[in-house]
Chain A
């Protein structure tokens, strides 16, 4: 499981972190019907433009193509705490939703005024405000945006333009969870591991875009598998980084990774009104132990008591040799041989 949705500001203070965990957004309904969302989060591949558009489209009865999401520029998104720690949706998305709700609240007042009915006589259905019992008398948010911009007929005490902003300081972290199961086949003669099957069932609470969620899970799992089997920054005793570029440090390609089978459960978060938890870090959190437990499970059949990551081919070969009473000769370090890896102890320990 994970602790995500960075984070309640007060809690961060008690942990001695210097900044806060709130997030801010504004939602602006332009006069010709398009909606501008300004987000304080800063995407770098996660698809915020898409998912945030989906949220606002539902909230305001427009289509995602009608919504423009601006982020990552301090002159435009003047307030924000950016993106990390799986917070963009559970802090940022919730702020956007709050702002959109405030826009809709103001739009409701305008709609009632223009339709000359009481607010209670309106219902929000099919993405517009309809008079109860008289569905042909309706107003859409884009129509109301124009009215609020022309401002010819504003209700008492209501300012022109249709926009709102909101800040959301999460009252708690969020806690995505799930179960990943990995099936491996190991060739003891070469030490190489083949992942036969990788199943990931994740619960990120309410799902905004399942395609985006799956993409995040798969990307994270790939990094997690790589952490388990391939990656290790190796320093020598002089503090020299031996794995100093992409040809000596193994970032896996598609050829070194399996396909994934993905499933979901949905347990909404109690931390925010949308029930969202975040998904960005799930894969890297779940995959390393899933893979290593599979490797360990396999190797116990050949008498290996314990193995740690990365379970490279060479390491597996060595522990299998050792377990079968054939201590391999010392050799020049590569991928974690004796003497070179600063993190790995001389004897792989693990009292059980």
Chain B
């Protein structure tokens, strides 16, 4: 067992974990943050996407021990003071979800794209979402949702171009 300490959604968390424990299971089972989902076992689907130290990552490809000392943001941490994040609003406005299972990962991937300064035309967004699979929506509304949110977010706080760290 190894001791880790990290910040999750702004709260400091400490735990003893097995070295083989994946971050996604740490979030879901140790911390009870079940919003992040497991959809596959080959890192293909992206349902497990979270933000880690400012970048979107598939939490099934990260060991909990690797997240020691990191800042992790999950879907549960997006809304602040009951106010939905622009991405959440945009997904709802644009019917960007149906069963909702891929949605937390999609939203976090969208957040990662927008905050990295990525271009927001159709092709750029679609390419940026290559790692996130959805079986319900056919993606068109997801793309629109991310574009709409980007428009709002970049208007209110001009993005630092190429600012992924």
Q: Is the CB of B98 within 8 A of A215?
A: yes
Assuming the contacts A214-B95, A219-B135, A260-B138, asked whether A254 and B40 have C-beta atoms less than 8 A apart, the reply is no
Contact of B41 with A251 in the complex, beta carbons under 8 Å:
no
B116-153: which have CB < 8 Å to A? 122, 125-127, 129-143
Cross-interface CB contact of A253 among B122, B133, B137, B141, cutoff 8 Å: B133
Do B125 and A254 touch (CB < 8 A)? yes
* Count of interface residues, chain A, beta-carbon cutoff 8 Å: 26
- Indicate if the CB atoms of B42 and A247 lie closer than 8 Å: yes
Q: Are B40 and A245 in contact (CB under 8 A)?
A: yes
Asked if A254 and B141 make an inter-chain contact with CB atoms under 8 angstroms apart, the answer reads no
Spot the interface stretch: A7-15, A42-50, A81-89.
A42-50
What residue in chain A is nearest B125 (Cβ atoms)? A254
A272 proximal to B (CB < 8 A): no
Is A257 in contact with chain B by the CB < 8 A criterion? Answer: yes
In the complex, the answer to whether B137 meets A215 with C-beta atoms within 8 Å is yes
In the complex, A218 has a CB within 8 A of chain B: yes
Q: Mark A29-47, 1 if CB is under 8 A from B, else 0.
A: 0000000000000001111
Tell me which residues across on chain B come within 8 A of A253, comparing CB atoms: 126, 129-133, 139
Q: Which chain A residues border B95 with CB–CB below 8 Å? A: 211-212, 214-215
Are B42 and A245 closer than 8 Å at their CB atoms?
A: yes
- Please tell me which one of the listed residues A47, A218, A221 contacts residue B141 in the complex, with CB atoms under 8 A apart: A218
In chain A, residues 246-285, which have Cβ atoms closer than 8 Å to a Cβ of chain B? Answer: 246-247, 251, 253-255, 257, 259-260, 283
Which A residues are CB-close (under 8 A) to B126? Answer: 253-255, 257
What range describes how many residues of B lie at the interface?
20 to 34
Interchain nearest-CB distance for B165 vs A (Å): 25
Report how far A213 CA is from B131 CA in the complex, Å: 26
CB distance from A344 to the nearest CB of B (A): 25
Q: Which residues does chain A contribute within 8 Å of B125, judged by CB atoms? A: 254
Who on chain A is nearest to B94 by CB? A211
Contact with B along A207-230 (1 / 0, CB 8 A): 000011011011111110000000
Interface residues of B in 85-108 (CB under 8 A from A): 95, 98-100
| Inter-subunit contact B44/A246 (CB<8 Å) | yes
- Please measure, in the bound complex, the distance between the C-alpha atom of A345 and the C-alpha atom of B23, giving whole angstroms: 45
Given contacts A222-B137, A251-B45, A253-B130, 13 further A-B contacts (CB under 8 A): A45-B99, A212-B95, A219-B98, A219-B136, A222-B138, A246-B42, A246-B133, A247-B42, A254-B129, A254-B134, A255-B126, A255-B127, A255-B129
A-B pairs with lowest CB-CB distance, top 9: A45-B99, A218-B138, A222-B138, A246-B44, A254-B139, A45-B98, A254-B126, A247-B42, A254-B129
Interface residues in chain A, defined as those with a beta carbon under 8 Å from any beta carbon in chain B: 44-47, 211-212, 214-215, 217-223, 245-247, 251, 253-255, 257, 259-260, 283
